[in-house]
Amino acid sequence: MYAIIELGGKQYNVEKGTRLRCEKLDQQPNETFAIDKVLMVKNGESVKIGNPYVSGAEVKAKIVGHARAKKIVVFKYKSKSNYRRKLGHRQHFTSILIEDIKC
């Protein structure tokens, strides 16, 4: 079984057992939650496409943990004017494990 879900404003392709990183969620680690924003479900040869979401479809997920991504360096530079600015950013994310897909 295969599904496309919407989580945190982004779309993800998921199957049972998939681990993915998404935008930071407010749940605690080892909590399970349901995602009802399912855009498409494929079960063998049958495909259900939502408008915009598939009614009755649900994906169960478990929070694995929270962390921060690698640092991204932002460097601004303008030649001949001695202008340099160096900034860094680490994005927070939540790692989740897909446990079940129901349609």
Q: Is pLDDT of 18 > 90?
A: yes
- For residue 103, what pLDDT band results from cuts at 50, 70 and 90? confident
Rounded Cα distance between 3 and 71, Å, is 31
What does the domain layout of the chain look like in residue ranges? 2-65+95-102
- Which pTM was predicted? 0.82
In the predicted model, what is the mean pLDDT of residues 28-48? 94
What pLDDT score does 12 carry?
96
pLDDT in tens, 49-63: 999 999 999 999 999
Distances (CA, A) of 88 to 22, 69, 70, 100: 20, 12, 10, 37
pLDDT in tens, 63-100: 999 999 999 999 999 999 999 999 999 999 999 999 99
In the predicted model, what is the mean pLDDT of residues 1-14? 94
Write the CB contacts of 48 (distance below 8 Å, at least 6 apart in sequence): 40, 41, 42, 54, 57, 103
